[in-house]
Each structure stands twice: as C-alpha cells, then as structure tokens.
Homo-oligomer: A and B are copies of this chain.
C-alpha cells in the first residue's frame, strides 16, 4: 500500500513476483509475462517475521495466505488439553495459511524458526484474480491439492512407519526440498529442535536423538548438533522400503 506512494522504490521493484527467483516454485509458476504483471499487483505487501514470532495463530481471522520469500517456518495445532503437534515445516517458495479458508479463521499456528520474510496474498483478491487468470487459478488448485497429498504422506509416516523409518523419510524429504531450491542435497542445517522434529514425527525427542546417533554410527549420516551431512542417501532410502508388510 504505502509502497505505491514511492514510485519505483528499488527494494519493492526487486521484490516483485516477476523478478523473484522463487517464481518457478511459488505461486507465479507457469504464468506469462502479462499475467505476472497482474500478480505483482495482487502481492503488494511483504512482512518480516523474526525468529520465534508468530505469522498467525489458530483462531486469528483468515484474510490472506502467505508465500515464504526467505526463512523457515513450522505450523502446529493445539489440543484443548495442551498437547500439540507440529503439522509441517515450510521453506522458501511454499505457501502458508490455506488451512484458514474453510472456516474463515486460521486453524493452526505458524511460527518462524529463523528470521523470515513472507509475501502477503490477500485471499479475496487472489480469488478475484484467479477468476481472470486461469493459469493462476489452476496453479493455486494444484498447490492446495499438493498440500493434501503431503498430509497423506505424513499420515503414512505416523500410521505405519517405525521410528527410524520416520526420521529417514524426514531427512530425505528435507534434502529433496533443499535441492529444489539450489542448496546442497547432502549438507544442511536443521532449523528445528529435536523436540519439534519429534512432535512432527510422532516421537519423543529422546527417540529422535537416538535415531540420529544410530544413523551416525552406521555411517548413513554425520550429525553434529543441527548440522547434518547425508553420507548414504541410498542407505536411508533402503530403510524405508525394506520392511515387512
């Protein structure tokens, strides 16, 4: 909003969807030059979220979805009795907030795990533009659908896999997503604690820690605190598919 007052504000210009280096991963995927210009109008506002801060909380009114420009988030859901569960970890180019559309309020918390910046996509406007730009409409539907499929994957994790399989699947998933963003497939820093990993995987932090140590001993990975190096991706994959029916 305010940015429009300062025409050609350099940082704003650089941050437009049409110039963003995530445009092949994020909402703009597959849009033509002209359509991208329209998207730039839709996504005007950016918001910084410091490490530890909430982007939104469960029960906040739902008004926008968010595309992560830089940084790393977790989402979690709370039960009345205080127990909670991490439902996902999100990185650059991924969308946050789609859970809120159905009930017009958010149904989970989104917390930055490092200093982050998000693009605010007012939802009513997104619907408006996607009535005009069918490529945008279709791509948005795909992103929602993929979120559903991702959740099925997590259900699989939680429902049928044993502890070490869950952790192996988690590491391979992170590796694959870092790769898609141009980072090393084999070496990265975890942004989350053992406790948060455990919550996501339906395990206690001690179990996560033991599984890391075990992978380390077996030469599958090397772990030092939050720094992970994958030494034997094939070995990790084998853990996933060898189990009894």
**What are the residues of chain B within 8 A of A243 when measuring CB–CB?**
81, 83
**A146 contacts chain B at the CB level, 8 A cutoff:** yes
Contact indicator per residue, chain A 167-204, by CB within 8 Å of chain B (1) or not (0): 00000000000000000000000000000000111100
A158 vs B87: C-alpha distance when bound (angstroms): 11
Residues of B within 8 A of A138 (CB): 127
CB–CB A83/B141 < 8 A: no
A214 close to B (CB within 8 Å) = no
A145 engages B79 (CB within 8 Å): no
CB of A147 within 8 Å of the partner chain: yes
Interface string of A14-39 (1 = CB under 8 A from B): 00000000000000000000000000
Known: A80-B241, A83-B243, A148-B147. A158 touches B99 (CB 8 A): no
User: With an 8 A cutoff between CB atoms, is A143 at the interface?
Assistant: yes
Decide yes or no: A85 and B160 within 8 Å by CB, A127-B138, A144-B141 being known contacts: yes
Measured CA separation A143–B148 after assembly (Å) = 12
How many chain A residues have a CB neighbour from B under 8 Å? Answer: 51
A242 to B156, CA, bound (A): 27
- The answer to whether A199 and B148 have CB atoms under 8 Å apart is no
Q: When chains A and B are docked, how far (Å) is the Cα of A132 from the Cα of B134?
A: 11
Of the listed stretches A49-57, A101-109, A112-120, A221-229, chain B binds A101-109
Q: Does A98 contact B (CB under 8 A)?
A: yes
Distance in angstroms from A166 CB to nearest chain B CB is 11
Q: In the complex, are the beta carbons of B155 and A85 less than 8 A apart? A: yes
> Least Cβ distance of A236 to chain B in Å?
14
**CB-defined contacts of A103 to chain B, threshold 8 Å:** 145-146, 149
Collect the chain B residues with CB atoms within 8 Å of residue A81's CB.
240-245
Q: Give A201 to B200 CA distance when docked, in angstroms.
A: 17
- In A70-105, which residues have CB < 8 Å from any B CB? 77, 79-85, 87, 98-103
Return 5 A-B CB contacts under 8 Å, by A number. Answer: A80-B240, A83-B160, A83-B243, A103-B145, A154-B155
